[in-house]
Amino acid sequence: MITEFAPINLYKEKHGKFPSSKIKISLWDNIVAHLFGSLIFAIKVRKVGLCTFKFCANGFERKSNLGNKFIPWDKVLHIHQLTDAYLMELEQGFIPLPYRCFENHHTEFKNLISNKFV
């Protein structure tokens, strides 16, 4: 997810818009991103645990070891669709939503966000 989204986000910060095509990163940057990303993810899972999500017309709720948090859709700036996950861009940070979290509700989620973000 990091190697897929980081170049896009850097491009956006530099140019003020999203790129029109996929951005490639060097082998070295790819290795560093995988090592760094794996370490950060391991720390996150240890602290927060695996998250579950519940979606509705007003927003979504994330349940984790740290408790429950409801985020209304108006706090979501953008939803990035990556290879293995969606990445919710909030005013302060990002929330990854791996496809495995959706079970049989992926189509419902896509319909819900298409009404709000397309």
Spatial distance between the Cα atoms of 52 and 65, rounded to a whole number of angstroms: 10
For 84-106, how does the pLDDT look when each residue is reduced to its tens digit (9 = 90+)?
888 888 988 888 888 887 777 77
Same domain, 89 and 110: yes
Model pTM? 0.64
Task: Count how many Cα atoms sit within 13 Å of the Cα of residue 48 in the half-sphere of its side chain.
Answer: 15
Number of structural domains (the chain) is 2
For 7-30, how does the pLDDT look when each residue is reduced to its tens digit (9 = 90+)?
666 666 677 776 666 667 678 877
Query: According to the model, what pLDDT value does residue 10 have?
Result: 66
Same domain, 33 and 91: no
Helix 27-48 to helix 2-15 angle (10° resolution) is: 110
Same domain, 21 and 11: yes
Q: How far is CA 19 from CA 23, 32, 96, in A?
A: 8, 22, 20
Same domain, 93 and 36: no
- The whole domain housing 16 covers 1-48
Same domain, 64 and 35: no
Query: According to the model, what pLDDT value does residue 9 have?
Result: 64
For 52-77, how does the pLDDT look when each residue is reduced to its tens digit (9 = 90+)?
888 888 988 888 888 999 999 999 98
Residue 33 and residue 2 in contact, taking contact as beta carbons nearer than 8 Å? yes
Same domain, 30 and 72: no
Same domain, 11 and 63: no
For 28-43, how does the pLDDT look when each residue is reduced to its tens digit (9 = 90+)?
877 877 788 778 778 8
